[in-house]
């Protein structure tokens, strides 16, 4: 038997049966969702009718994909236990925002469909278009590596020949495009509810197997031997430190308020109070979302006993050696659930921004809702093809986590400063908003063009945006270019 054929036999008939049942369920959700996605608001924000439990499930599923497990697993493998501070920070920020309703409550009350839409209401159409451009740029660059990372995992765990990566990426993308194209946010929410249960079960199975294979004592000794004191103290690790923690704390605030896939969940809730409660309860999930895969990465380091294995390959190799027939199918189905819930939500997020915040505002003629709906569906396909190209072409410059965080910062930093200024500061105006959006993007892009370390580039990006927002708004007031304050007095309170 050839090596390729032997590898293919890693997944058995029962594994493929489990996977097939799951995929058929996703297609059925797309068909069902199409019946309820006849209007633009239903297609983009599920008619703004989600209750608490659906909101929790769809937010948790959206922000947890194979790529999430892979980059957190890689971080645990190369950094150690100190990486778990990310889970603690995320949970604390989400709980605080949920408890107070900080920014998310007033944004939900505006009945928005996209984040950049706020910028036209508060500042000007030009700010909306500029923000839409950077949202789309940052989002597509961020999502661009998902397919390669997820395809690499599936190729390894299914046992396909290495040369089949392109085929696996294409099939994975096609499945997501089909049901997202058909049912929009309604289909995404339906599948998210199913996927939330499946990926949660899969995470529990993997964690149990990791404990059984290693044990806490072995994990502790391995981390201490490989990394010394650094794996237990985030302040002493060269890739973390104070600048990293400060950046991550601000970044998570921005993600919960301004990250388009998260914001669309908030905009889809039935009211602002339910939105607030959704964030509070989902904070518990965000804690496990980071700490569990980081634990898998540490377990992979102990079990494989070979630090030379690349970080992104460690967790797939670890699982490959642990999983038997049946369990392999369950884990693959849970990983597919994670992947598809994230990819579908991200696809509709970036395509909706391109349509609603760039194309429609730039159009000289009024664009009917029916045409906007068609355009959103077409852009789902276009964005999907762009992501496939980027995934095949681009090579990560280092740990995936830092790349994903810095690409998000391209627009999150400017968006956070301009949104918080718009809601809580009466002097905020379009000059400040323009300044914040541009300075934030330039600060983040220094990571790519000037080789600035991610933690410094990210922290500097947020610092620049708040300074630019403050200074630009003061200049704007002096120039008497402040029409937003006259139009939207209620928004600023």
Note whether residue 458 is domain-resident: no
pLDDT recorded at residue 491 = 42
Count Cβ atoms within 10 A of the Cβ of residue 66 and give its class: 0-12 exposed, 13-18 middle, 19 or more buried.
buried
Please give the residue that has the higher pLDDT: either 154 or 486: 154
Please give the residue that has the higher pLDDT: either 43 or 126: 126
Note whether residue 417 is domain-resident: no
Cα(429)–Cα(446) distance, rounded to whole angstroms?
26
Name the nearest CA neighbour of 351 among 307, 382, 306, 327: 382
Cα(87)–Cα(18) distance, rounded to whole angstroms?
31
Note whether residue 198 is domain-resident: yes
User: What CATH number should be reported for the domain holding residue 278?
Assistant: 1.20.1730.10
Q: Which pLDDT band holds residue 8 (cuts at 50, 70, 90)?
A: very low
Q: Is the pLDDT of residue 439 over 60?
A: yes
Q: In a 3-state reduction of DSSP, which class is residue 190? A: helix
Residue 113 Cα to chain centre, angstroms: 18
Note whether residue 130 is domain-resident: no
Q: Record the tokens describing residue 138, joined without a space.
A: 């940052």
Q: Is the pLDDT of residue 331 over 80?
A: no
pLDDT recorded at residue 129 = 94
Residue 444 Cα to chain centre, angstroms: 17
Q: In a 3-state reduction of DSSP, which class is residue 269? A: strand
Q: Is the pLDDT of residue 200 over 70?
A: yes
pLDDT recorded at residue 387 = 84
pLDDT in tens, 202-229: 788 888 888 888 877 777 777 777 766 6
Name the nearest CA neighbour of 146 among 345, 375, 343, 403: 343
pTM of the model: 0.83
Q: Which pLDDT band holds residue 432 (cuts at 50, 70, 90)?
A: very high
Note whether residue 118 is domain-resident: no
pLDDT recorded at residue 332 = 78
For 91, the domain range is 3-112+138-353+368-395
Tell me which residue has tokens 């002096």. Answer: 478
Name the nearest CA neighbour of 421 among 127, 170, 84: 127
C-beta separation of 477 from 410 below 8 A? no
Residue 483 Cα to chain centre, angstroms: 34
Note whether residue 32 is domain-resident: yes
pLDDT recorded at residue 268 = 84
pLDDT in tens, 90-129: 999 999 999 999 999 999 999 888 899 999 999 999 999 9
Q: Which pLDDT band holds residue 254 (cuts at 50, 70, 90)?
A: very high
Q: What is the count of structural domains for the chain?
A: 1
pLDDT recorded at residue 1 = 31
C-beta separation of 243 from 456 below 8 A? yes
Name the nearest CA neighbour of 316 among 13, 124, 487, 67: 67
pLDDT in tens, 292-318: 999 888 888 888 877 777 777 888 888
- Strand partners for 269: 50
Q: Which pLDDT band holds residue 188 (cuts at 50, 70, 90)?
A: low
Q: Which pLDDT band holds residue 45 (cuts at 50, 70, 90)?
A: low
Cα(347)–Cα(336) distance, rounded to whole angstroms?
16
pLDDT recorded at residue 123 = 94
Note whether residue 117 is domain-resident: no
Q: Which pLDDT band holds residue 43 (cuts at 50, 70, 90)?
A: low
Note whether residue 179 is domain-resident: yes
Q: Record the tokens describing residue 200, joined without a space.
A: 């949660």
C-beta separation of 430 from 125 below 8 A? no
Tell me what the pLDDT averaged over the chain comes to: 80
Cα(314)–Cα(319) distance, rounded to whole angstroms?
9
Cα(424)–Cα(412) distance, rounded to whole angstroms?
18
């Amino acid at each position: 038997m050839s090596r390729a054929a032997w590898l293919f036999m890693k997944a058995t008939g029962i594994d493929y049966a489990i996977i097939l049942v799951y995929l058929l369920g996703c297609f059925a959700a797309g068909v069902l969702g199409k019946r309820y996605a006849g209007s633009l608001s239903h297609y983009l924000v599920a008619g703004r009718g989600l209750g608490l439990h659906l909101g929790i499930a769809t937010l948790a599923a959206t922000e947890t994909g194979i790529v999430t497990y892979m980059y957190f697993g890689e971080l645990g493998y190369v950094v150690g236990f100190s990486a778990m501070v990310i889970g603690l920070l995320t949970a604390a920020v989400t709980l605080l925002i949920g408890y107070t309703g900080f920014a998310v409550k007033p944004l939900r009350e505006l009945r928005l469909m996209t984040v950049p839409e706020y910028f036209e209401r508060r500042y000007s159409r030009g700010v909306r278009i500029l923000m839409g451009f950077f949202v789309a740029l940052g989002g597509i660059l961020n999502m661009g590596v998902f397919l390669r990372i997820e395809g690499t995992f599936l190729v390894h765990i299914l046992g396909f020949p290495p040369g089949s990566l392109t085929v696996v990426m294409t099939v994975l993308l096609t499945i997501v495009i089909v049901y997202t194209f058909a049912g929009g946010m309604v289909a995404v929410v339906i599948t998210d509810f199913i996927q939330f249960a499946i990926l949660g079960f899969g995470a529990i199975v993997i964690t149990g197997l990791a404990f059984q294979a290693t044990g806490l004592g072995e994990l502790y000794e391995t981390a201490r031997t490989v990394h010394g004191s650094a794996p237990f103290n985030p302040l002493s690790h060269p890739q973390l430190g104070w600048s990293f923690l400060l950046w991550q704390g601000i970044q998570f605030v921005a993600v919960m308020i301004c990250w388009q896939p998260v914001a669309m969940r908030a905009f889809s809730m039935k009211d602002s109070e339910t939105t607030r409660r959704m964030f509070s309860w989902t904070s518990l999930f965000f804690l496990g979302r980071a700490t569990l895969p980081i634990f898998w990465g540490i377990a992979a380091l102990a079990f494989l006993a070979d630090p030379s294995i690349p970080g992104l390959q460690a967790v797939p190799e670890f699982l490959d050696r642990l999983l038997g027939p049946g369990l392999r199918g369950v884990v693959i189905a849970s990983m597919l659930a994670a992947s598809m819930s994230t990819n579908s939500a991200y696809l509709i997020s970036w395509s909706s921004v391109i349509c609603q915040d760039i194309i429609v505002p730039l159009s000289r003629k009024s664009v009917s809702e029916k045409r906007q709906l068609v355009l959103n569906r077409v852009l789902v396909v276009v964005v999907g093809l762009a992501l496939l190209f980027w995934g095949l072409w681009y090579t990560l410059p280092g740990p995936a986590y830092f790349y994903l965080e810095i690409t998000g910062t391209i627009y999150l930093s400017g968006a956070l400063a301009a949104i918080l200024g718009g809601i809580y500061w009466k002097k905020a105006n379009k000059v400040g908003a323009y300044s914040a959006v541009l300075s934030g993007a330039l600060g983040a892009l220094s990571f790519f063009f000037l080789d600035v370390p991610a933690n410094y580039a990210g922290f500097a990006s947020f610092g620049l945006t708040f300074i630019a927002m403050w200074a630009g708004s003061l200049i704007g007031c002096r120039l008497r270019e402040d029409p937003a304050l006259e139009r939207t007095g209620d928004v600023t309170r």
